[in-house]
């Protein structure tokens, strides 16, 4: 019998767009996930978002929160959204808040100035028990390849984060767009003692955020390394919404298989298919 991993396996709510947030939480519970990775999207872009979240955490815990992926009216600009996300995490005892570095390509100038000025993110954001985690971002694929975000090299990101009191989120697909080895990158992050969260998905040329086992990444090797290293953070299934089936029965089967895989069952069958 395979030993249980020391990390928790989550479902990213950003992987489904059509169901209500409550329905997503029920689905995650039914398919074997330990909790959810809550992405702030339109489900929470209203004045009663706390009530919605209370209903959701009664279904399944939230162990990570992702700041809005796009500008939402009630959440404000990037810095304001990050501050509000930390406050919400403190209110609901969510241990990790994940955010992206500023993008020069999308002209996040004010965010960039603030980001470069902060010397201690945990102190600046009054995080207390919440760990604010910076996510490595992708190279855009296609005919024209761009590096639209700051700190594209994950070694530079680690150095920046160590100097500015940040924690880290590792995204496997984002690493793969730069052709980095995911196991080596995990070891580099894990060695810092500041890796709190992992976004797990597969990748193939010009195909991002695939269901594990449908791309080229050695995710089984990565999961074995996580367990052997004693990694005790969170691992979130974060796939593109159009990679998941639309029919309920098929969707449940895919998610159940994915949660089982991330918990360490059946790696050899999934990896490299």
Task: Report pLDDT for 105.
Answer: 82
- How far is residue 167's CA from residue 53's CA, in Å, rounded to a whole number? 24
Residue in this structure with the two tokens 């330990």, named with its chain if needed: 34
**199 within 8 A of 173, measured Cβ to Cβ:** yes
* Residue 169: strand pairing partners: 135, 197
Task: Report pLDDT for 190.
Answer: 98
Report residues of the chain scoring pLDDT below 70: 1-3, 141-144, 265-273
CA Rg, the chain, in Å? 18
CB atoms within 10 A of CB 143: 4
* Residue 37: strand pairing partners: 12, 64
Task: Report pLDDT for 199.
Answer: 98
pLDDT digits (tens, 9 = 90+) for 67-94: 998 888 889 999 999 999 999 999 999 9
- How far is residue 220's CA from residue 236's CA, in Å, rounded to a whole number? 15
For residue 59, give every residue at least 6 positions away whose Cβ sits within 8 Å of its Cβ, in sequence order, or none. Answer: 22, 25, 26, 29
For residue 264, give every residue at least 6 positions away whose Cβ sits within 8 Å of its Cβ, in sequence order, or none. Answer: 2, 3, 4, 5, 223, 224, 227
Average pLDDT, the chain: 93
Task: Tell whether the torsion through CA atoms of 147, 152, 106 and 49 is positive or negative.
Answer: positive
**197 within 8 A of 99, measured Cβ to Cβ:** no
Exposed / middle / buried, residue 59 (Cβ in 10 Å: 0-12, 13-18, 19+) = middle
Task: Report pLDDT for 228.
Answer: 95
Task: Report pLDDT for 270.
Answer: 45
What is the chain's length? Answer: 273
Exposed / middle / buried, residue 148 (Cβ in 10 Å: 0-12, 13-18, 19+) = middle
CA nearest to 192, candidates 240, 153, 160: 160
Q: What domains are defined for the chain?
A: 8-270 (3.20.20.150)
pTM of the model: 0.93
Q: Which two tokens stand for residue 114?
A: 């603030």
Task: Report pLDDT for 65.
Answer: 98
196 — phi, psi (to 5°)? -110, -20
Which three-class secondary structure state does DSSP give residue 9?
strand
**31 within 8 A of 256, measured Cβ to Cβ:** yes
């Amino acid at each position: 019998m395979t030993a249980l991993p020391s990390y928790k396996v989550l479902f990213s709510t950003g992987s489904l767009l059509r169901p209500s947030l409550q329905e997503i939480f029920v689905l995650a519970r039914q398919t074997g996930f330990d909790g959810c990775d809550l992405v702030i999207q339109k489900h929470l872009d209203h004045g009663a978002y706390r009530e919605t979240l209370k209903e959701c955490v009664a279904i399944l815990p939230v162990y990570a929160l992702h700041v809005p992926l796009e500008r939402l009216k009630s959440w404000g600009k990037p810095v304001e959204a990050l501050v509000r996300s930390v406050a919400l995490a403190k209110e609901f005892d969510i241990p990790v808040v994940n955010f992206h570095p500023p993008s020069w390509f999308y002209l996040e100038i004010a965010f960039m100035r603030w980001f470069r000025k902060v010397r201690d993110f945990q102190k600046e954001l009054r995080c207390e028990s919440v760990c604010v985690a910076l996510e490595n971002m992708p190279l855009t694929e296609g005919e024209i390849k761009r590096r639209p975000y700051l700190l594209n090299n994950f070694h530079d990101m680690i150095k920046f984060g160590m100097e500015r009191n940040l924690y880290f989120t590792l995204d496997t697909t984002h690493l793969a767009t730069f052709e980095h080895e995911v196991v080596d990158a995990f070891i580099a992050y894990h060695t810092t003692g500041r890796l709190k969260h992992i976004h797990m998905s597969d990748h193939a040329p010009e195909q991002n955020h695939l269901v594990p086992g449908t791309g080229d990444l050695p995710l089984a090797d990565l999961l074995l390394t996580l367990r052997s290293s004693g990694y005790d953070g969170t691992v979130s299934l974060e796939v593109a919404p159009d990679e998941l089936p639309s029919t309920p029965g098929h969707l449940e089967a895919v998610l159940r298989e994915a949660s089982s895989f991330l918990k360490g069952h059946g790696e050899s069958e999934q990896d490299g298919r």
